[in-house]
Amino acid sequence: MWYMSRRGRARSHDSPRLSAVGANAPSAARALLEAGHWPSAYHLAGFAVECGLKACVAKQIRRYDFPPRTTANLYTHDPTKLLEPAKLVNAPAAAAVASAAFEVNWTTLKDWTPESRYDHSITLVKARDLYRAITARQNGVMSWIRQRW
């Protein structure tokens, strides 16, 4: 992912920062879930996946590479749209064939949008389902992403 530095130079986000956010966000989502802040927990769980996928993209970009023409495709929060720049387009479908549990978890994630942070009607069940979908040890979305960053 690219951004402009203060000096006007194009720079890429480094994978370690994004992967650290992706790795830490699930525990923050859990704390919010336990505190009864279900909409915030739901949003943060989805945000963890977004950061994880962007870490996969950042890993592919070298420090002095020229930004690719498709840089605009990186400015999205939709996990399904981030699969293309992360070069993982067919990977969730392949994982879903291998594991029905992963398919359920990926399907649960696909309902998430960044606008969820404004949805105060999110229930405990919906927030807990997304949290479990991303944090399941064997077939969770975040463990699947971690294998690729």
The Cα 16–Cα 111 span in angstroms is 27
The Cα 23–Cα 131 span in angstroms is 13
42 vs 84, residue with greater confidence: 42
> Is 77 within 8 Å of 48 (Cβ atoms)?
no
Long-range CB contacts (within 8 A, 24+) of 91-96: 91/148, 92/144, 95/144
CA 17 to chain centre: 13
The Cα 141–Cα 143 span in angstroms is 6
- For 9-114, strand residue ranges (E) read 10-12
Report pLDDT digits (tens) over 43-67.
Answer: 999 999 998 998 888 888 777 776 6
Closest C-alpha to 54, from 149, 147, 125: 149
pLDDT above 90 for 35: yes
Phi, psi of 40 (to 5 degrees): -70, -40
Report pLDDT digits (tens) over 79-137.
Answer: 988 988 888 989 999 999 999 999 999 999 999 998 988 999 999 999 999 999 999 99
pLDDT above 90 for 12: no
pLDDT band at 25 (very low <50, low <70, confident <90, very high): confident
5 vs 39, residue with greater confidence: 39
Given the structure tokens 């956010």, which residue do they identify?
Answer: 21
> Is 12 within 8 Å of 38 (Cβ atoms)?
no
First to last CA, the chain: 14
Amino acid 10: pLDDT: 41
- pTM for this one? 0.81
pLDDT band at 70 (very low <50, low <70, confident <90, very high): low
